[in-house]
Each structure stands twice: as C-alpha cells, then as structure tokens.
Amino acid sequence: MEIVRLKRTSRILSGHPWVFSNELATSPKIYEPGSLLELRDGKNNFLGIGYINPHSLIAIRVITRNKENIDRDFFRKRILHAVEYRNRFLKDTDSFRVIYSEGDNLPGLIVDKYDRCLSVQFLTLGMERWSEIIIDVLDMIFSPSVIVLRNDSSARLLEGLKIEKKILKGTMDGYPVIFEDSLRFEVDPLSGQKTGFFLDQRENRMAFSRLIDGGKGLDLFCYTGAWGIHMAGKGADVIGVDESDYAISQAMKNAGMNGLSERCGFIKTEVFDYLKKEISKGSRYDFIVLDPPAFVKSKSKLREAMKAYRAINSNALRLLEAGGLLATSSCSYHMSRELFTEVLRLAARDAGRQVRVIGMRSQAGDHPVLLSVPETEYLKCVFLIADP
C-alpha cells in the first residue's frame, strides 16, 4: 500500500474522515484513482487508511484508523456492526437504512432495506471498486429476494462515475410494501426518489401524528403521501400537494391500501402557488406539514435558499388556525439548525403570528450522526404551535 503524507492533520486528528487536496504534501494526481493509501503525517506517524480520487472535491476518504487489511472480512464486520446498531435501537420495523455512508464509517455507501428488497448506492469511486464484494456480503447477511443498484445520484458525476440503475438479483414482479406504525406503504426502489422512500422522516411522522386528533390538515410536498396518511390515520381530513404526477398517483395508491382514501385528497400543483391561492381564499388548517426538497445544494446558494424557506414557512403559518400545528423541515446540510430556527422566527414575524416550539427533531436513528462529522446531520424538523 502506497503512503501519502499530510501537511495538515487537524481535521483527521479531530475524527473527520475527509482529506482535501490542499492538505496533502504532494499532488493527489500521482496516485491511482480509487486506490487505498496509508495516511501519515510529516513525522511518519500512522493516521489511517483511505481511498483517493484526485478528480474529486474530497481527495481522500478515511475508512479506518487502524492498521488492518481491507478485504471481504473488513466489509463483513463493518456491515454486521451497522446491522447490530439497528437491531439495538430500531424496533418494530422491517425496513430501514442499513448503511449510512460516513455515519457508519463506510463513506460512499448507502444501503436501504425495504422488506425483502435491498437498494444499494455506491457514491464514490473508492467504494465502487469494492462493489462486488459488498453486494456479495449484503446478500449473505440478508438473503434478500431483490437487490437494486441505484447508482443514479448526481454525486457520482463528481467522482467521474456513470449513472445507472439496474436489478442485480431477483425480479421486480411487485413493489415491496413496508410497515410504519401499523400503516402500509408501497415503495418503488427503481424509480422513486432517493432509493425509493424517505426513511429519514419515519420517527418524525409518527411523533407528529400522535399530536393529531381529527381536524383538517395540509401535507405540502407530499411525495407518496406518508405524512398525510399518518395524520389521516388519526382521524384527520388531509389534502396532499405535490407537482409530480408519479408522486400523486403513488400517494393515492398508498391511501387506498390503508383504507384512507375518503380522508385523503391529493392535488397536483406547484406548492408556492397553491399556498398563495389558499391564503387569498381565506382557508384555514388545523395542522400543516412542510417537507420540501433541499433548497440549497451549496453554501453559495444559502442566502437564496433562506429567502425561499422564509417565504414558504410564512405562508404556511398564515393558513394555520389558532392553536394549529406546523411540522416544518429542511434537509439542506448548509442550512444549520441555528439558521433554520432564525428563518422560522422571521417567517413567524412576517406572518404576524406568535409561535412556540414544541419539538426540535432530526433524522431517524438509522441515519446515525457522528459528532466528529457534522455533515452526517442534515435533517432539521421543527414542530410549532401557533398561539391565538
């Protein structure tokens, strides 16, 4: 294994797994892309083992701090450790994120389990070089009926990798159906967003639904209807809004599977426009869910994104009845918890509403956050109540 020396080590010594090219003592271009390297400091002290891609924004990603062989047994142990973590902290679910990249010390690897189906993403060149071994280990551990490769993330383009989707094992004769707090949801692992379903909001959906007892609700950016269906299951009448034909169709199907079609209506339209029309009509709701896609993909777009989050939250607050509830989220990493809280404060001021925070939440437990890697925490979910 070749050795690469670092001229700056503070990031690595703090426990972070990323090394940028300007932290290296030599050019990263002299190393084979995707190869494993032993990292050492200027005094020849061992720092860890990582894989390199000189064409990526992140030159090296550390996969171990120990001197050990990187082979099939290494990945088997890492994956089993991740499974044991889920078995300890997740209850009453057959579907969860098995591997969460850096959060499970396997940077560049995402694995989601939907009942008997595994959906796998390789986001980096260094991890993709081990794809055959990793797939084989996953197959041995879970014995799934279907394994889907979802290598369609735009992050792969930054690594010089091609975009592709395919079934590696089994056939997709029917989509997997997963359970979430007694409710059933059909998941499309091939065509759905991300790997098919937003598992990261599972605990937030269940927690918010427990605050609901009838009433009239609005589920904005509803995707396949999970938030709204949870609320309808508590006796509420809910309207879901999304601009995707696919999402609306799947949401209607999921509502029907749970016997909640009469309580759930879905509208295909643009959410910002819908909110403005509802405000002009003087509509009011007892609770609203606002779960938009990431408005900010890079730090340079943060100011623009803050304006969008402020506007949409302000309009949502204008529609709330006195004592109404708002569950609002941001999945943008660059929108910190502090910034998001400030945006919500400004949105409430714009709407002329006094609001109280009744819950500050994050992503589900199968998306573990490493304290040494702030980037592993991206989801902010805040529960608010509008005072009279």
pLDDT, tens digit (0-9, with 9 covering 90-100), for 214-236: 999 999 999 999 999 999 999 99
Q: Which of 288, 271, 332 shows the shortest CA–CA distance to 306?
A: 332
At CB < 8 A and 24+ separation, what contacts does 155-161 make?
155/123, 155/124, 156/122, 156/123, 158/56, 158/57, 159/53, 159/55, 159/56, 159/123, 159/124, 159/125, 160/33, 160/53, 160/55, 160/56, 160/125, 161/122, 161/124, 161/125, 161/128
Examine the pLDDT at 17 and tell me if it is beyond 90.
yes
How far apart are the C-alpha atoms of 302 and 343, rounded to whole Å?
Answer: 12
Residue 333 to residue 376: CA distance in whole angstroms: 8
Task: Report which of 379, 291, 357, 289 is spatially closest to residue 327, judged by C-alpha positions.
Answer: 289
Q: Is the pLDDT of residue 193 over 90?
A: no
* pLDDT interval class at 208 (50, 70, 90): very high
**According to the model, what pLDDT value does residue 272 have?**
95
Cα distances from 137 to residues 73, 263, 374, in angstroms, run 9, 44, 29
3-state SS, residue 160: coil
- How far is it, in rounded angstroms, from Cα 223 to Cα 219? 9
pLDDT over 90 at 298, yes or no: no
Task: Note the pTM of the prediction, 2 decimals.
Answer: 0.94
The sign one gets for the Cα dihedral 202, 204, 208, 210 is positive
Residue 63 has pLDDT above 90, yes or no: yes
pLDDT at 300 over 90: no
Give the position of tokens 């809910």: 238
Question: pLDDT grade, residue 140 (50/70/90)?
Answer: very high
Mean pLDDT across 28-37 = 96
Position 301 scores a pLDDT of 81
Sheet (strand 117-122) strand order:
95-100, 109-114, 117-122, 146-151, 164-169
Give the residue numbers marked as catalytic: 331
- Quick check: 192 pLDDT over 90? no
What's the confidence (pLDDT) of residue 194?
85
What is the percentage of the chain residues whose pLDDT exceeds 90?
91
Residue with tokens 């990945």: 75
Contact between 123 and 101 under an 8 Å Cβ cutoff? The reply is yes
Query: Interior CA angle at 367 toward 63 and 48, to 5°?
Result: 10
Query: Three-state secondary structure along 315-329?
Result: HHHHCEEEEEEEEEE
- Please give the DSSP secondary-structure letter assigned to residue 34: T
Considering only the C-alpha atoms of the chain, give the largest distance between any 2 of them, rounded to a whole number of Å. Answer: 70
- Give 95's DSSP letter: E
Convert the pLDDT of each residue in 82-134 to its tens digit: 999 999 999 888 899 999 999 999 999 999 999 999 999 999 999 999 999 99
Mean pLDDT, to the nearest integer, of 288-309? 88
Q: Is the pLDDT of residue 61 over 90?
A: yes
Q: Report the pLDDT value the prediction gives residue 30, as an integer from 0 to 100.
A: 95
CA angle, 187 then 190 then 192, to 5°: 55
- Calculate the average pLDDT of the chain: 96
What pLDDT band is residue 296 in, cutting at 50, 70 and 90?
confident
Helices H / strands E in the chain, number of each: 11, 19
| Helices 302-318/271-281 angle, 10° precision | 30
Q: Is residue 340 pLDDT above 80, yes or no?
A: yes
Task: Provide mean pLDDT across the span 26-54.
Answer: 97
pLDDT at 299 over 90: no
- What the block records as the tokens of 355 is 């609001």
Rounding to the nearest 10 degrees, give the CA dihedral for residues 364, 367, 368, 372: -120
Name the CA dihedral angle for 118, 251, 210, 115, rounded to a multiple of 10 degrees. -20
Band of pLDDT at residue 139, cut at 50, 70 and 90:
very high
Are 225 and 264 in contact by the 8 Å Cβ rule? The answer is yes
Report phi then psi at 349, rounded to 5.
-65, -45
**pLDDT for residue 49:** 98
